[in-house]
Amino acid sequence: MVKLDRIQRPELILDEAKVRRNIEAMAQKAEKCGVRFRPHFKTHQSREIGRWFREVGVTAITVSSLTMARYFADDGWDDVTVAFPVNLREMAAIDDLASRIRLHLLAVHPETVEALERDLRHPVGLFIKVDCGYHRTGVLPEDTATWERFVEVLQGSRQVAFRGILTHAGHSYKARGADEIVAVHRQALKAMARAKEVLASLYPDLQVSVGDTPSCSVAEDFPGVDEIRPGAFVFYDLMQHRIGACAMEDVAMVAACPVVARHPQRRELVLYGGAVHLSKDGVEGPDGAPVYGWVSAWGEDGWELPTGCCRVIALSQEHGIVRVCPEHWDRFRVGDLAAVTPVHCCLTANLLGAYRTLDGRVITRL
């Protein structure tokens, strides 16, 4: 029986059984495909949820900041990749953490290696970021001059040990359907293979690391890959559902938002749940306008699966405006809680903080 009576303000609600099922499924896929599973913990940012990964044999993790790395290191994780380009202004913090755990960093420029070599007293591992087509950052496979310069500085390095190449095919989020996701995946693998060719003669044991949730959820093989680093799969969300990476039944987190006003003349609800709770990430609705979440009511065992007919159509700082279809209008009263399936689980989790399970237990996070 779902316990919602203590909720006064917007909160995240977890279906623990679904979260554990998602973790188990991805761990099994990694084992089946012969790749290491180094999940990205930036989505959940919770020590307790992190321990659920240990139960399926995970021993190494990915994070997106040094703060996050320290948080999980304090819970016993000692093999951590920070999958964000090195911020040279955090050199002291990098060195401190490197003295405690096996720390792996990410570089885009050879000058980063030179700075690490000059200023660190404790060794770190290093991955070079490859731009596989996303064009957010990274070294293009055909950028021969940059690869040669990396080799030059790494050859003389003592504190920086080259581990391999890493990429994030974030453009898979623009795909629609499994076929388009797999096409992005194949493109990324080709880019990584080209980059590896440049370095393989000097570094025959270099590791290849990939990790977007859509590709890791849909693809059935990972040729040439040593590890995968998906993160959002732990909860999934409306965006993952819309692009074909998961079923709505796989979504394991919603935001419980109080209904604070009803406007029957335009069939709109006002939620206490705005941009500071849900983020302003949206997906395209049937009329081309942005949608910021799907809304559903609650049943005996949790939230009901949303159908998409009740949609968050506008956000301000604290307000969420929901357009409700006629057949569901009478299901929502002022004072009720609406279940909002978020567009982007990572951002919503980051904004709302702690989680509450369906049985009322609170799970803290960073």
| Residue owning tokens 């188990």 | 24
| Same domain assignment for residues 103 and 211 | yes
Q: Dump pLDDT digits (tens) for 266-297.
A: 999 999 999 999 999 999 998 899 999 999 99
| Same domain assignment for residues 256 and 197 | no
| Same domain assignment for residues 335 and 198 | no
Full pLDDT tens readout for the chain, 366 residues? 688 888 999 999 999 999 999 999 999 999 999 999 999 999 999 999 999 999 999 999 999 999 999 999 999 999 999 999 999 999 999 999 999 999 999 999 999 999 999 999 999 999 999 999 999 999 999 999 999 999 999 998 999 999 999 999 999 999 999 999 999 999 999 999 999 999 999 999 999 999 999 999 999 999 999 999 999 999 999 999 999 999 999 999 999 999 999 999 999 999 999 999 999 999 999 889 999 999 999 998 999 999 999 999 999 999 999 999 999 999 999 999 999 999 999 999 999 999 999 999 999 999
| Same domain assignment for residues 222 and 303 | no
Q: Dump pLDDT digits (tens) for 21-75.
A: 999 999 999 999 999 999 999 999 999 999 999 999 999 999 999 999 999 999 9
CATH classification of the domain holding 355: 2.40.37.20
Q: How many domains does the chain have?
A: 2
Q: In whole angstroms, how far apart are CA 104 and each of 58, 81, 84, 135, 160?
A: 17, 4, 10, 22, 9
101 falls within a domain? yes
| Same domain assignment for residues 265 and 328 | yes
Q: Are 295 and 339 in contact (CB under 8 A)?
A: yes
| Same domain assignment for residues 219 and 287 | no
| Same domain assignment for residues 256 and 186 | no
Nearest to 295 by CA among 275, 270, 316, 324: 324
Among 203, 230, 257, where does a domain finish? Answer: 230
Expressed as residue numbers, the domain containing 96 is 78-230
186 falls within a domain? yes
What's the length of the chain? 366
Nearest to 81 by CA among 207, 171, 252, 205: 207
CATH classification of the domain holding 105: 3.20.20.10
| Same domain assignment for residues 86 and 194 | yes
| Same domain assignment for residues 251 and 222 | no
